[in-house]
Amino acid sequence: MLKLLAFDYGASSGRAIGGLYDGDTIKIEEIHRFSNDPVSVNGTLYWDILRLFFEMKQGILKAVKIYGQDIASIGIDTWGVDFGLLDKKGDLIGNTVHYRDLRTQNMIEEASAKVPKEEIFNTTGIAFQKFNTLYQLLAVKKNQPHLLQNAKTLLFMPDLLGYFLTGEMHCEYSIASTSQMLDARAGTWAFEMLGKLDLPSDILRPVVNAGTKLGQTSNAINDELNLKGITVISVAGHDTASAVMAVPASKGRYGYLSSGTWSLLGVELDQPVINEKTYALNYTNEGGFNNTTRLLKNIMGLWIYQECRRSWEKEGTPVTFDELENAAEAAEPFKCFIDPDDDIFYSPGKMPQKVVDFCRDTGQRLPESRAEIVRCIMESLALKYRYTLDGLEDILGWQIPQLNIVGGGSQNKMLSSFAANAANKPVITGPIEATAIGNLLCQLISAGELKDIYEARELVKRSFPVHEYMPCDKELWDEAYARFIKILKMKG
């Protein structure tokens, strides 16, 4: 029985997941779970990176207690775009800043004043999002130039945590691709573009493929945790890239939706699609395992729903997701819609009121209860999925026959059912822990236990259950979609 350990850091929580591979199937178990809470200090929103590394060490201790010392390897995946800066001694310079911090306001405009947006997109293939690493670095250069002057190395979050664990510095391809600083065709840094923006490229490490051996846990970690030493693999470090590895699909065409705080909806391709249509529709070409491309759109996922629940709990009335969804099932359908990607929903706080305000500003009937707010969010997400699928099919020139939903959001039966109805496509949900599973699959491929991604996906099919939702009520959802499109145009 081969024993593996995956650390999966999401925007709201992290887990250490153990994997047990017997040569035919893989079983997983949650060993350690912890919250990932941003910290606001003097108006800046940070990640508590040292706490996150502390939790990693706790996960390793628990894993060793369960599995003993013969853990074959460790892999780490996280969300994209964020990073830490290291000085010439390898020490972290300051705290790592959260992508939802407001420092990147107007940075897209400042970048495009030096390099036209078309040129940035044609080079990187990445959609314009104000949280991209490119704009974070521009904000640092403008407001805190001393940080870049003292920086010797930039490491993205999974690579930074891997460095803390091993003392070795790598930059894995999939996580680097989220930065909008990588040449999408060449797979190397976009040095010419970065030079035009007067950003330092010497702080960037060479890019390595997912599955590369990072190193062994360092002597200091081994002494602290009483380890014999564990191999650390640079898996597909971007959590969506890991999740896509675990999509239980064949070699045929399919769409995927990695559903959690964010919804990332796309297709897996051999090459990036960089043209006028992709640029106009603001789709992105991110890197995947084995240098594939994930042509996708970022959608503001279950973040809005999660924030609503936090707000209601702060009012002193604890409520579970199941209770909210059961009530929403009975609420009036198609009463009102939001655009989940509207800027009003980007920052935390007062989310229920923001939903009401959006409906008021767009001249709709207002949601009057928690149940109606939840129903509004879920229907709107499903309709945004259809809108995104329509755009993908327009770019690709072919129909996407089914949608595979993976990740924690695949447990949401209401949203999965609505997605099937809205898109008028079969929806296959599962596995739930797709990101951690993809992390483990990459370790198995790296170790030579699995031949390739196709063999890995067959392993997923044998090991984890899936559920299927068939579309219904097409006319009702078509009518709702027409109303939804009008709202998007109104706000656009």
Cβ atoms 200, 153 nearer than 8 A = no
Residue 186 shares a structural domain with residue 296: no
Residue 268 shares a structural domain with residue 181: no
Residue 224 shares a structural domain with residue 328: no
Distance between CA 429 and CA 378 in Å, rounded? 16
Closest CA to 349 of 83, 38, 9: 38
Question: Is residue 324 one of the residues assigned to a domain?
Answer: yes
Q: What is the pTM of this model?
A: 0.94
pLDDT score recorded for residue 491: 81
Question: Is residue 242 one of the residues assigned to a domain?
Answer: no
Residue 130 shares a structural domain with residue 231: yes
Question: Is residue 125 one of the residues assigned to a domain?
Answer: yes
Question: Is residue 435 one of the residues assigned to a domain?
Answer: no
Active site residue 239: yes
Residue 230 shares a structural domain with residue 256: no
Distance between CA 237 and CA 255 in Å, rounded? 21
Question: Is residue 32 one of the residues assigned to a domain?
Answer: yes
Question: Is residue 423 one of the residues assigned to a domain?
Answer: yes
Three-state secondary structure call for residue 40: strand
Q: Report the CATH number that the domain containing residue 12 is assigned in CATH.
A: 3.30.420.40
Residue 231 shares a structural domain with residue 294: no
Check residue 92 and report its DSSP letter: B
Residue 231 shares a structural domain with residue 259: no
Task: Output the CA–CA distances (angstroms, integers) from residue 77 to 213, 253, 439, 447, 475, in the order listed.
Answer: 14, 26, 7, 18, 41
266 - beta bridge partners? 256, 296
Distance between CA 59 and CA 439 in Å, rounded? 16
pLDDT score recorded for residue 250: 74
Other beta carbons less than 10 A from residue 372's beta carbon: 21
Residue 314 shares a structural domain with residue 165: no
Residue where a domain terminates, one of 237, 259, 283: 237
Kindly give, in sequence order, each residue whose CB lies less than 8 Å from that of residue 105, ignoring residues fewer than 6 positions away. Answer: 130
- Looking up tokens 């390793």 gives 60
Question: Is residue 27 one of the residues assigned to a domain?
Answer: yes
Closest CA to 2 of 56, 66, 73, 65: 73
Residue 34 shares a structural domain with residue 78: yes
Residue where a domain terminates, one of 209, 237, 265: 237
Structure confidence by residue, pLDDT tens digits, 251-289: 778 999 999 989 999 999 999 999 999 999 999 999 999
Other beta carbons less than 10 A from residue 280's beta carbon: 11
pLDDT score recorded for residue 427: 97
Q: Which residues of the chain have pLDDT under 70?
A: none
- Tally of structural domains, the chain: 2
Residue 194 shares a structural domain with residue 252: no
Kindly give, in sequence order, each residue whose CB lies less than 8 Å from that of residue 346, ignoring residues fewer than 6 positions away. Answer: 100, 300
pLDDT score recorded for residue 11: 87
- Looking up tokens 């996580």 gives 175
Residue 229 shares a structural domain with residue 261: no
* Domain with 345 in it: 247-430+451-492
Residue where a domain terminates, one of 215, 237, 259: 237
Residue 233 shares a structural domain with residue 251: no
**Radius of gyration of the chain from Cα atoms?**
22
Question: Is residue 437 one of the residues assigned to a domain?
Answer: no
Structure confidence by residue, pLDDT tens digits, 8-47: 999 889 999 999 999 999 999 999 999 999 999 999 999 9
Kindly give, in sequence order, each residue whose CB lies less than 8 Å from that of residue 92, ignoring residues fewer than 6 positions away. Answer: 49, 84, 85, 86, 160
Cβ atoms 22, 6 nearer than 8 A = no
Selected catalytic residue, list 77, 82, 101, 239: 239
